[in-house]
Amino acid sequence: MASSNALFLFPETKSSVLPDPSRFFSPDLLSNPLPTNSFFQNFTLKNGDQAEYFHPYLIKSVDSSLCISYPSLFHNSDFFYERKPVYNFSVSGNSITISTSHGVRSLSSSSSTKWSDKLTNNQRWLIYASSPIDLTKHGDSSIHCRGGFTGIVRITVLPGSNPGYESTLDRFSSCYPVSGDADFTKPFTLKYMWEKRGSGDLLMLAHPLHLKLLARDASSLFQQSTLLLVCPDRGCTNSSVTVLDHFRYKSIDGDLVGVVGDSWVLKPDSVSVTWHSMKGVKKDSYKEIISALGKDVNGLNSSAEVTSSSYFYGKLIARAARFALIAEEVCYLDVIPKIVTYLKNMIEPWLDGSFKPNGFLYDPKWGGLITKQGSKDSQADFGFGIYNDHHYHIGYFLYAIAVLAKFDPLWGERYRAQAYSLLADFMTFGRKDDNNSNSSYPRLRNFDLFKLHSWAGGLTEFWDGRNQESTSEAVNAYYSAALLGLAYGDKHLVETASTIMTLEIHAAKMWWQVKKGEALYPKDFTAENRVVGVLWSTKRDSSLWFGPKEWKELFVKQLVNWTLPALQRNGVGEGWKGFLYALESLYDKDGAIKKIKRLNMYDDGNSLSNLLWWVHSRD
């Protein structure tokens, strides 16, 4: 985002519910905007002693000790998670002590800089040092360092009994990363770069989505069990990365595979963001859609009593914005002025602070937006005040603002600064020292540049780490950001938001969609589920935040043939039926339309016009 777009800040407030940052942050960082939805967020809260997942290890920091675990999976048909045997590593002065929750069966050394520790649970850990180190077994479950040590110590578990694992680790043990960066160098390209120390090449681990995207647009050569990927980006530090297909660690996200190279280039699909449907609406359906639009638009009333929830308000205005785009696509331009007036009346109070029940405020403690209600109640607005779900809520607002700015460019320019301030809360691309960065917000609040999807859970300690439930709303957030770029002629925003949107879609397909016959997840979980309800760092759950498991069975699994009979249950909401009938239309258009027309109500973000538009634009 250009710096000129980043000058506006919503009024500052002091929240009564936000926690203070933990000692994880050094004092000189506390004046900067801080991450609120990061994979290491537990470290930043309270005492900072809850574990977090650093693939493939669970890491926990307590006082001067570092606890490292290579977890195993516990699973059933409803959920599965990673269990945590502990390997503690503590430093006092220049003295090192290692203790385990399992007994130390043996400790041996093949050189003065490498030790092997075999535990009673049959795990074998390797300890590499940058200079000679003298370790001794102390009691049943401790290892002590004699004579002190200064230098670098690297600890890793052997992922299997194949002797090739150890020889691979030996080969790359002298090179280690000290920092990393991820940049969107050009459209639909994400580049990883690591600063390394030591000698030799850098060995890292890639999850399944990394491997899929590394392989795109690259020539490949199989040599035994090694895949050589020639980097297509001339800016790469190395001309290639080598994927060690035989070198694998288990993780909840699938096998992590060794990749040699200090620069990776990931290539997601190229997706064109547009205002209208990709294939167009069939002209013989215009009359039916226009009839529905007339009724839906006639029902818009900005003077009526309205929700004060930032989430439901956002859905309400995004719903109305859909009417304008649908009307434009089916050439029903007469209703657009009324929609534009409605959107102005509904959006402006949130942008100028005149909506009395609620509004956006700026929190200087962590550096981000919270709501008026959320500043006093951690549960209000689904936890928006403690940084839950920001991309969901703001995404709906951005969609409506983008559409309004499209139809009324003068209005768009008037509120451009406010729009970009909303955007910056979760879509700041640069860092504080970048000339084009908005230093009031952290970089990409929700999006995880390693996992390649967003985290919705904010400033709450969770045993299972961060989480996200609604991938569709995450995709919508970045789609809406791209539309905002289209409305303002901001090419960089369009390109970057589209790239993140595409990565979010890839991740949803990889980890939220449970495909029959695939080995990514345990068999008993795969047999009973086709979609993950809530995805956590160390857990996959079939349940939902917003309702009982049965609700998910009605829609979220998106198993149309299986779920349609379930719609006959008592108490099934009409809103859920609408979404399911939309999916049914992909294979039975006529049958779905009949059911859609019989609905008495729709989800608060949906409408008859939108459903008919969907059905008639899929062909």
469 classed as catalytic: yes
- Count the neighbouring beta carbons within 10 Å of the beta carbon of residue 579: 19
Q: What angle do CA 306, 307, 311 make, to 5 degrees?
A: 135
The residues facing 75 across adjacent strands are 80
Report the alpha-carbon distance of residue 96 to residue 107 in Å, rounded.
15
Residue 531 has what DSSP assignment?
Answer: B
Report the alpha-carbon distance of residue 612 to residue 290 in Å, rounded.
10
Backbone angles phi, psi at 370, to 5 degrees: -135, 175
CB 391 within 8 A of CB 382: no
| Catalytic residue (one of 117, 425, 469, 490) | 469
Instruction: Give the 3-state secondary structure of 460-524.
Output: CCCCCCCEECCHHHHHHHHHHHHHHHHHHCCHHHHHHHHHHHHHHHHHHHHHHECCCCCCCCCHH
Tokens matching residue 317: 């205005």
495 classed as catalytic: no
C-alpha to C-alpha distances, 131 to 92, 201, 476, nearest whole angstrom: 18, 19, 51
CB 402 within 8 A of CB 486: yes
Report the alpha-carbon distance of residue 377 to residue 523 in Å, rounded.
41
390 Cβ contact list (under 8 Å, min separation 6): 37, 368, 369, 384, 425, 426, 445, 446, 458
Here the contacts of 257-261 (C-beta below 8 Å, separation 24 or greater) are 257/205, 257/206, 257/211, 258/168, 258/203, 258/204, 258/205, 258/206, 259/203, 259/204, 259/205, 259/206, 259/210, 259/214, 260/172, 260/201, 260/202, 260/203, 260/204, 261/201, 261/202, 261/204, 261/231
| Catalytic residue (one of 117, 288, 473, 541) | 473
CB 609 within 8 A of CB 323: yes
Comparing CA positions, the residue from 330, 490, 331, 462 lying closest to residue 398 is 490
| Catalytic residue (one of 389, 448, 490, 541) | 389
Report the alpha-carbon distance of residue 307 to residue 259 in Å, rounded.
50
Where are the extended beta strands (E) located within 250-367?
256-260, 263-266, 360-363
Report the alpha-carbon distance of residue 233 to residue 235 in Å, rounded.
5
524 classed as catalytic: no
| Single-letter code of the amino acid located at 137 | K
Backbone angles phi, psi at 512, to 5 degrees: -90, -30
Q: Which residue has the tokens 């990409």?
A: 444
- Residues annotated as catalytic are 389, 469, 473
